[in-house]
Every structure is written in C-alpha cells, then in structure tokens.
Structure 1
Amino acid sequence: MKLFVLLNLMFGVVYCEKILAFFFFPAVSHQNALKPIAKELSLRGHEVTLVTPNPDYNSSLSNLTEIDVSVGYEPFQFYDLTKLNRDSVYLIDLVLMGHHLYEDIVIRQLKAKGVKELLQKPADSFDLILIEGNTPAYFGLQHIFNAPLITLSSYGTGTYYHHVFGNPIHPVLYPDIFAQLSGPISNLLDKIDSLYVTLTYHLMAEYYMFPRMDKLVRPYFGLDMPYIGDMVRNASMMMLNVNPIISERRPLSANVIHYYKLHTPKIEELPKDLQEILDHSKNGVVYFSLGTNVRFQFLGGNIKEIILEALGELPYTVLCKWESEYQENKPKNVILRKWFPQESVLAHPNMKVFVTQGGLQSIQETIPNGIPMLVIPFLGEQPMNAKILADRGIAEVIMPKFLKKEILRDTILKLANEERYRLKAQQLRDVYMDQPQSDMDKVIWWCEYVIRHRGAKHLRSPSADISLYEYFMIDIFICILVAICVIYKGFSLLLIIAFRILGQTSSEVKLKRQ
C-alpha cells in the first residue's frame, strides 16, 4: 500500500502539460507583464517553451525553455515612437505606422533560427498556446500545432478585438484607445470623433491590416492555413492586463478575463548609495521616467533642456531616468541614471510625485504606493490612461506639445503641495488592492481550464459572430424605415384615390343637377 501511494505521488508530480508561450513584442514593459505567467506555469509543473525578446536563461527553472527573438528590437531604430499619437500624425497614418512596425518585427522573428526550429515541431507538440495578441500574426500558430490558444495583452486592446470577442463596442461609452478619450463622452464633437476612430480602425483592420498580415505569415504557417482573421476568431480566450478601477469599465464576455499586478515583484533593497540619497532628501523626492520606448533623441526642439531646467527649479531631489548619466548643465538636485529600481524607489516614504509617460505598468507600480502622478503621454494607450487618471483625481496631464518649463515646474509643485492628490491616490490604492484572489492564481486557473476542456468555445459570446450592422441593428432600422415609407406612400396613394373618387362623384352630381 505504501509503495502504491508513493508511485501515485510520483506520477502526480511529473504529470504536466506542454505549453507554448509566444510573447513577441520587444519592450521590457510588455515582457514584465507577460513572462511571469510562463514562469509560474513552469513552477507549477508544466513544460513551457517561452519565445521572448528578453530571455533570462534562469537555470533554476528546469521546466522552462526559452527561444530568443531579440532580433525584434532591430526595427525600433527606424521608427519614432513618440509620433504614435494623434497630436503628431493623422489617425490613418498612426494606424499604418503601428502596423508596419509589427510587420517588421514579425518577419524578423519568423526568420530567427529558434522560431524556424519551433515551427518544424510535430502538430501535437503543445496542449496550449499563449500569445501576445497585439498583432494577428501569431494566431496562426493554432494551425501549426492544433492546440487551443489564449491571447494576452500587457495593457488593454483595441475596439476591433473587443468586437471579435463579443464585448460591447459603443463608441460613446467605450472609446477606442486611439480616440484618447475616457467614456462616457458628453461632448458632441468628441462623440463624432470617437465614432470616426472606431469605424476607421475597424475598416482598416478588416480590409488592410488583416489581409496584409495573412499574406505575410502564410508561407511560415502553411499555405493551407485558414484566413488569419478566422484564426483570431478561433481563439479560446482573451486575457487583458487591466484593472477596471483605472480602465474603461467595459462589460466583458465570458471568455475575456481581466488580470493585473503580475509584473510587480517584491520590493527589493535599494542600492546603498540610492538608499542614502532617498533617506536624506528631507524635502521629498520626485521621480522622473518616460519609460523605455520614449527616446530623447526623437524629441524635437530643446525638450531636454526644458525638462532639466524645470526639474532644477524644484526644491526636491529629482531622480531622473535618462539615456546618459552625463548631461551638460545638469542641475545639482537632479540625479541622472540609465536605470532605477522603479518599484523600490516608488515605495520610499519620501517620494512625492512620479512624472511618467503613463504606461500601464508604471501606473500599476505607482498606485499601490498612493503617489500622485504627472502624466506626459506620448504613444499608444498612454493618452487614454492619462485622461482616466486625471478623472480619478490622482494626476495632472501635460500633452507633449504643451510642455514648457514653467508648466512642468508648477504642475509638479501643485501635485506635491496639494494634499487632495495624495488623499485621492490613497483612496484609489485601497480600492485597487482589494480583491478576492491573486491575479496569478486566476490566470493559471483559466489556462488550465482551457487545457482541460480543449478550448473554451462554449464561453464564446453570440455577439462575436455577427457583423457590425447586425450588432447595431441597422438592418432592423432599415426595415422599419422602409415599412414607414411604404405605409406613408400607401396612405398617400389611398388619399389621392379617395379625393379623386370624391371629386368625380361631386362632378357627376353637379352634371345631374344641371
């Protein structure tokens, strides 16, 4: 009996599923939000193959095999990501720029040696596929490996993908990321603009981006692969790194899951020199970082000088994440470094204000510490995030085109000195942190759920399988309009006939009298 129990325990330990995690986008913030899922799955006994541009090669994770696709970083030297906003370019050019960047990344990664070898594996190599679904390209992995697929995003997702998965896409209540608005929208011009963004992105995805990506990846995934748009619709589930407290609060279909806080590690001990700087900054500390994708060499004019002059006039110590640790005419109160342990810096009690670009990961690292933010949004979802934070009362926003020394300095002072911002930030922190279970447990459970049931098609919303004109009941309104027109025309014709008959009868009566 003891031997039988021991053997059962042994088999229980070695039992695992084979999982492919293809997290393609070359950005530290994206990888920080997604890679912990692959690592946790491996720690829970699953055999995980992780495709990432930022491999860790952690030998302690014996169940994790990494494939390096850092070649995806190469296209960034040709793209100015600070232009990925509607203040810089027209909407169509903005969408095209983002799509062409994705194409450049995907084609380089598909040609990488490790990915080529991966695509040669047998069809039954994996029980589950996880992808970063910002592009439709890697949905085609379903065709190669015949396994259920879950798409994840390190932030939210666009209106088109919400439509594909059956979530509500009302442009007044839930504006698209590129609308740079927070719903519900009250201004009529903003409503028109939001509708324009929603329809434009939908049409470009349907008739330009998806067909181009299908043509690009078909030679790698097989000429017999179904259309890439159908591959997207075949996905079992979508997981979004979103907290409804700081998002659009959109209702979700049963196969769409929210999670957050996965990327935030435990607060580590600060380097000794940095710890001393923060401890001795009795007036307080301001932390300035525009993330990893905003590069100062792309910023026009004298923006670097404006920022440094404004920071130099503050009565606080300023930690500034910069591309170089040397800058001519650097103020004495400003400390420039290429990297700071952001979570640990934000957790220090002397921290007063965080100046950020408004990336979701930076926001998620700030809110648990109850710190007011100054958001200078540049690209992607950052303008929308900034609007939401401002509406919640914990942030002020300066659009890059309005960035002046006096405005930057005075806004930081306002956030640091007016207690209402910190009180709002602390209230939001308490709501944000209050949840019934860890998000990692939620994500892992749903991954294993999809494996157990070989997909989750039974959770798919019926609204995911109807066209936009049916979703908005345009066909019904047209029928009603046609019916009204027919009734009106018929009634008008009856009146005309009636009047003619009455007229003829009246004439006949007159003739008889004569």
Structure 2
Amino acid sequence: MFSLTLMTSLIIFVDSAFSANILCVLPYFGMSHHMAFSTYIQKLADNGHNLTIISPYPSNHPNITEISMSAVVDPNYNKRQLPDKTGYSLDQAFRSLYRFYQRGQHNAALFQVDSVKRFYTDDSSEFDLLITEHFNNEIPLVFAMKYNVPFILLSSCGLLPWSQRAVGQPYNVATVSSVLGGYNKKMNVFERAMNAFEVVVYVLGYVLFFQTARDEEIIKTNLGVDVSLAKLVQNASMIFVNTHYSMHGTVPVVPAVVEVGGLHIKPKTSLSADIQQFIDESEHGVIYFCMGSLLRGETFAAEKRSMFLNAFQKLPQRVLWKWENDDLPDKTANIMIRKWMPQRDILAHPKVKLFISHGGLLGLTEAVHEGVPTLAMPIFGDQLTNVKAIMDTGAAEILDYNTLSEIEIFSKAKEMLTNPIYKQKATKLSEVFRDRPMSPMETAMYWTEYVIRHKGAPHLRSPAVGMPWYQYYMIDIISMLLICVFAILLSLHYFISTILSLLRPSKKLKIN
C-alpha cells in the first residue's frame, strides 16, 4: 500500500513538473535593472528550466547558457555623478523622455556582439518563451517574432505609460500618478492636469521616437527585418511589475499586470565580521546611507558632503556610508565607509534605525520589507514618486536636494530616530507588504509557467489592447451624440421658425 502511494505521488510530481526552453534578452546596461530580476532568472534555472540569456552581466548557473554583452558595456555607465541641481518641473516630462531616449540608444549594441548575431542567424534553437525588460526600448521583441513564441515583459520600476499601453492597462490619470511625475496619491486640480499632460507626452514620444524612428530602424539596419513594434508588443502575455499595492496604493489592473514587488529580495545572510562588529557595538543603533548603484555618493559637492558630516557628528548613532572612494575627507570615528555595502543584510539588522537613500525602488523595497524608516533625497526618475508613496504611509520623509541644509538633515534625522511613530508605521507597512497569498517569487514562478502551459494565455489579454484611442475613450460615440444633438437642435430651430412664420399675421399693403 505504501509503495502504491509513493508511486502515485511520484507520477503526479513528474507529470506536474516540466522543463521549458526560455530565452531572456536583457540588453540594458543599468546594474540595478539586472539586480531587480537576477534572482527571478536564477530561480527559473533552479526549477529545471533551460535558459539562454543575452545580457551584459553574468548569471553563473549550470542551467543557463550565457551570451555575454560585457565587451560592449561602457565602464562608466553605472558611475553617475550627482547633479548640481535637480527638480520636477513643467518641462520634466520632456527632459525625462529625452533621458530615456539617450540611455536607450546603447541597446543597439545588442547586435554589435558577434555571438548575438550568430545566435540570431542560427535556426537550430527552439524556445517556449521570451522574457525581456520593457523600459526604454523594444528591440528584443524581434526574437519573439523570429521564434514565434509568447513573451513576458519585466518592469523594474512602476508601470511606465508606454507599458500600460502595451497591455491595455487603464491610465487613471485622476487617481494614479505617472511613475515619472512625482505626485502624491491624492492630486489637486493642477497636478491632475499635469499628470494627464505628462502621460500623453510619454506615450506619444515613445511611439513616435522610440518605437518607430529608433528601434525599428535599428532592427532593420542590423538584421534586415521590417517589423511593426507597435503591433508586436500588443502580443505581450503579461508584464511583471516591481511594485506592490501596500507601497504604491491600490490600482485596478488588468489580468496581464502582475505585481511582484520584492522579487529581488533574497534570504538574509551573515554580514562580514567588520560590519557586524561595527553595528553590534553601536550603543544607539546605526544609520545606513546609500545613494544606490548608479549615483556615486563620492560626487557630492563638498558643501553638501560637509552638511551630512556635521549632522552625523551631532547624532549619537553610528553611520554606514556607501562611499565609492578610498577616503572620505573629514570622516569622523562614528562613520564607516565601504565602496559597496551588503544592503539587504544591513537593513535586516535590528540595530539599523534609519535608511538615508535617494529613493530608488530596490533599496526602498528592502527597507519596507525590513520595517526600516527612510529619509530620502530624490534626484530623478521614479524616485520622488516612490518616496511620496511611502510618505503617505508615515514611514518616510523627504530631503530637498536643491535646498539641502545641515539643519534640515539633522532635524529630520533626529525626529525620525527619536519619534517612535516612524518605526511603528514602518513596521506596520512591513507586515502588510509581507502578508500575501504567495511570495513575490512564487507569484512570478506560477505566472511564468502558466504562460508557457497556455501558449501565451491570450485569454488574459484585455480587449483594450490595440484599440484605437478614439474608440477607447469613446470619442466616436461622443462625436456621434454631439452631431445628433446638433441635428435635433437645428431641426427644432427650423421647425419653430417655420411655425412662427406661419402664425405671424401678414402685413397689409398700405394704399395711398
């Protein structure tokens, strides 16, 4: 009886498990984007799927065949200096779109790699799925066309306007801030107007300048293939978005949008002995200061650097500061610097009391996961939107980079360290963030394999995908109604005028 039960269980297990051939094309040079989904890619390989990855960064897994783009990566790409001034203003939409365009041009390097070109022209490979990021280009979608496979899109930030368009996700401009807009969840009339304006600028700019003028031309020049990316992207089966409603607020989403915020967070590991000792021996706890993988803290203007150093001197806490240089001028004894910090494990330590950040989504999500309050200084992109979303929960505050002062840094840091409400709010947010039917990884695994099992799952696609804008917003119906109303009013006017003319007494001729 036991043997029969065991055999039945094994048959069920073998039947339910399957190994798919998955192609991942992730050409973007941004290190943080790689970090956002590397854990997911590794897990797919751990689950027995055979992956072929085209990427600038190594995966080092026995089930992964790597086609490296490292030879064409600009070594300074992930070494961005802090600007003299930043801000979110009326022309922000145009400037953000231009930055996206500029930083997306390097994706043409995908076809400058000989191994990639050989792979594309080799017809011996077969795949069940394509996975690619949908950020500032759609060049990798040509592989979906070549292999005739379904594809899943990845969004390392909140859902961008052009990604919403791809899967038929409603814009909700009155209630949902554009990822790059930097507005609160509750917007006033001016912010709602600006939010709508920015979404239009982003969508039109992306379609006209990214899809058509750049990406389609790159594909044609390098591969000799004519493709309509605007039509091809409409075949997206799903998009995994690195957000969660506990952080960014509730949004009605179509089935093709799956939130996997926290997907990159690995189980915590031991800290190095020096960092562990530095934290353990802190009587009043530790502040962790990091400006992310792209922005280099060492490029702070001397004046701003001194503001932080002077503020930290007045606080009893120790400071772990990600500082990319060998020396930090005027560093005091309560500060430890390292060129790279094990951020996830540092934030998990119970003695870490405050996270000072630029508001990047990966670090912010890790702080939320561990219940650490955040004092953020947004510089560009989605950072202001991310921080304002956490501010609404009571677990974060903002530093204005342009008007930064020692007094502001000290007073806000001290308030967040001494007022227990911030820790309480951060702990509550962490509880809500973690409380899910499935973990982010389990969610991503389930839906990835669901798409493979159902050959792209077209039954999940919204009917809004590919619908002309004038139909989606019912402009044709409204126009028809307006024409009908105008015709009725014109007819009434003619009818009433005719009746009145008949009823009006005729004038008698005067006889002299």
- Which stretch shifts more, 472-481 or 315-324? 472-481
What residue is the counterpart of 2:158 in the other structure? Answer: 156
What does the per-residue CA deviation read over 1:429-479, in whole Å, with 9 as the maximum and x for residues that have no partner? 111111112222221222222222221222110012212222222222222
- Which stretch shifts more, 295-304 or 415-424? 295-304
Say if 2:141 is the partner of 1:139: yes
Distance change >3 Å, CA 333–CA 77, structure 1 → 2: closer
What does the per-residue CA deviation read over 1:190-235, in whole Å, with 9 as the maximum and x for residues that have no partner? 11111110111111112222112111122344424x2111121122
Shift of 1:375: 1.1
2:127 and 2:149 in contact (8 A); partners too: yes
SS in 2 for 1:137: coil
What residue is the counterpart of 2:407 in the other structure? Answer: 406
What residue is the counterpart of 1:346 in the other structure? Answer: 347
- Which stretch shifts more, 416-425 or 33-42? 33-42
Say if 2:20 is the partner of 1:21: no
What residue is the counterpart of 1:199 in the other structure? Answer: 200
Distance change >3 Å, CA 39–CA 468, structure 1 → 2: same
What does the per-residue CA deviation read over 1:373-411, in whole Å, with 9 as the maximum and x for residues that have no partner? 101111221110011011111000123212222111111
- Amino acid of the structure 2 residue aligned with 1:45: G
What residue is the counterpart of 1:172 in the other structure? Answer: 174
Could you tell me how far apart the structure 2 residues matched to 1:80 and 1:499 are? 78
Could you tell me how far apart the structure 2 residues matched to 1:68 and 1:244 are? 35
What residue is the counterpart of 1:214 in the other structure? Answer: 216
- Which stretch shifts more, 407-416 or 137-146? 137-146
- Amino acid of the structure 2 residue aligned with 1:136: E
Could you tell me how far apart the structure 2 residues matched to 1:279 and 1:298 are? 30
2:93 and 2:198 in contact (8 A); partners too: yes
TM-score of the aligned structures, taking structure 1 as reference length: 0.90
Please tell me the root mean square deviation across aligned C-alpha atoms, in Å: 2.9
TM-score of the aligned structures, taking structure 2 as reference length: 0.91
Distance change >3 Å, CA 198–CA 89, structure 1 → 2: closer
1:358 and 1:386 in contact (8 A); partners too: yes
What residue is the counterpart of 1:294 in the other structure? Answer: 295
Shift of 1:484: 2.2
What does the per-residue CA deviation read over 1:37-89, in whole Å, with 9 as the maximum and x for residues that have no partner? 221121111111122222143xxx32112222233344727976858863596
What residue is the counterpart of 2:478 in the other structure? Answer: 477
Which of 47, 52, 55 lines up with 2:55 in the alignment?
A: 52
Could you tell me how far apart the structure 2 residues matched to 1:276 and 1:157 are? 40
- Amino acid of the structure 2 residue aligned with 1:39: Q
Structure 1: unaligned runs, 5 residues or longer: none
What does the per-residue CA deviation read over 1:83-131, in whole Å, with 9 as the maximum and x for residues that have no partner? 8863596421321121121112x12232123322321232752111111
What does the per-residue CA deviation read over 1:17-49, in whole Å, with 9 as the maximum and x for residues that have no partner? 211112232233222221122211211111111
1:346 and 1:366 in contact (8 A); partners too: yes
Distance change >3 Å, CA 365–CA 297, structure 1 → 2: closer
- Amino acid of the structure 2 residue aligned with 1:323: E
Say if 2:54 is the partner of 1:67: no
- Which stretch shifts more, 63-72 or 203-212? 63-72
Aligned pair count? 503
Distance change >3 Å, CA 9–CA 152, structure 1 → 2: same
Structure 2: unaligned runs, 5 residues or longer: none
- Amino acid of the structure 2 residue aligned with 1:37: Y
Say if 2:469 is the partner of 1:434: no
SS in 2 for 1:355: strand
SS in 1 for 2:254: coil
Could you tell me how far apart the structure 2 residues matched to 1:10 and 1:316 are? 52
- Amino acid of the structure 1 residue aligned with 2:45: S
SS in 1 for 2:62: coil
- Amino acid of the structure 2 residue aligned with 1:217: I
Could you tell me how far apart the structure 2 residues matched to 1:450 and 1:366 are? 32
1:107-126 → structure 2 map (5 Å cutoff): 107-122=108-123, 124-126=125-127
What residue is the counterpart of 1:35 in the other structure? Answer: 38
- Amino acid of the structure 2 residue aligned with 1:182: N
Could you tell me how far apart the structure 2 residues matched to 1:310 and 1:485 are? 68
- Which stretch shifts more, 196-205 or 30-39? 30-39
1:322 and 1:338 in contact (8 A); partners too: yes
2:30 and 2:77 in contact (8 A); partners too: no
SS in 1 for 2:51: strand
2:36 and 2:362 in contact (8 A); partners too: yes
1:86 and 1:94 in contact (8 A); partners too: no
What residue is the counterpart of 1:252 in the other structure? Answer: 253
Could you tell me how far apart the structure 2 residues matched to 1:276 and 1:229 are? 54
Distance change >3 Å, CA 9–CA 243, structure 1 → 2: closer
Could you tell me how far apart the structure 1 residues matched to 2:338 and 2:298 are? 16
SS in 1 for 2:487: helix
Q: Percent identity?
A: 27
Could you tell me how far apart the structure 2 residues matched to 1:89 and 1:188 are? 18
Could you tell me how far apart the structure 1 residues matched to 2:45 and 2:451 are? 17
Could you tell me how far apart the structure 1 residues matched to 2:258 and 2:201 are? 26
1:266-415 → structure 2 map (5 Å cutoff): 266-296=267-297, 302-415=303-416
Distance change >3 Å, CA 264–CA 10, structure 1 → 2: closer
2:79 and 2:294 in contact (8 A); partners too: no
- Amino acid of the structure 2 residue aligned with 1:165: V
Could you tell me how far apart the structure 2 residues matched to 1:264 and 1:119 are? 33
